[in-house]
Amino acid sequence: MKISKVLIATDGSDRSDQAADYGISLAKACGAEINIISVVDSGHPRNAMDIDPDSIEEIKEDSGLTPQAEKMEEDKKGPEWQYVAKVSEAAHAAGLTVSCDVRIGDPAEQIVSFAQENGVDMIVLGSHGRSTVGAALMGSITTEVIHKCNIPVLVIPVHSS
């Protein structure tokens, strides 16, 4: 099996940075291009600052996205683009061809969907990310990705510092 496209999923955590390093090394060794994705989890805001009660009420009242709601959605992507840019810089420094995307939705579903849409040969993930303490040992998003796709998934274990 030739690996020509590697998808690295990042959430900005140290653990996903470690996985990105492995993904970049793998892509370089295979002569593959890198795809990088980060997903804003639409079901779980990161903190109380991500919740704007007035905007939520407006969105609930309107079945479609208003311009204000669309701007809110785009604003949520800001931090994710920073995470993607960090990995992209490292991949470019390694001489790799890179494409990037930030999506909003269920992280596992969006990662799998992106991989299938873009003909990815392998997905590289960390075994944990920004998940809650109660998440399974491997990480709930990683576990979901493994179960939802037929693409090989390379899971990079947590390295203690």
- Angle 156-160-161 (CA atoms, 0-180°, nearest 5)? 125
Report yes or no on 161 lying in a domain: no
Number of compact structural domains in the chain: 1
pLDDT tens figures, 24-67: 999 999 999 999 999 998 875 544 444 444 444 444 444 455 66
pLDDT tens figures, 87-102: 999 999 999 999 999 9
CB 88 within 8 A of CB 100: yes
Bigger pLDDT: 20 vs 160: 20
Report yes or no on 93 lying in a domain: yes
pLDDT tens figures, 71-80: 666 778 888 9
Whichever domain contains 130, its CATH number is 3.40.50.620
Number of Cβ atoms within 10 Å of the Cβ of 161:
5
| pLDDT for the residue numbered 119 | 97
Report yes or no on 104 lying in a domain: yes
| Token duo for residue 45 | 């805001």
Half-sphere exposure of 10 (CA within 13 A, CB side): 32
| Token duo for residue 30 | 């295979």
CB-neighbour burial class of residue 52 (10 A; exposed 0-12, middle 13-18, buried 19+)? middle
What's the domain range around 132? 5-156
Report yes or no on 71 lying in a domain: yes
Report yes or no on 76 lying in a domain: yes
Report yes or no on 134 lying in a domain: yes
Which of 111, 106, 109 is CA-nearest to residue 126? Answer: 111
- Angle 50-89-94 (CA atoms, 0-180°, nearest 5)? 145
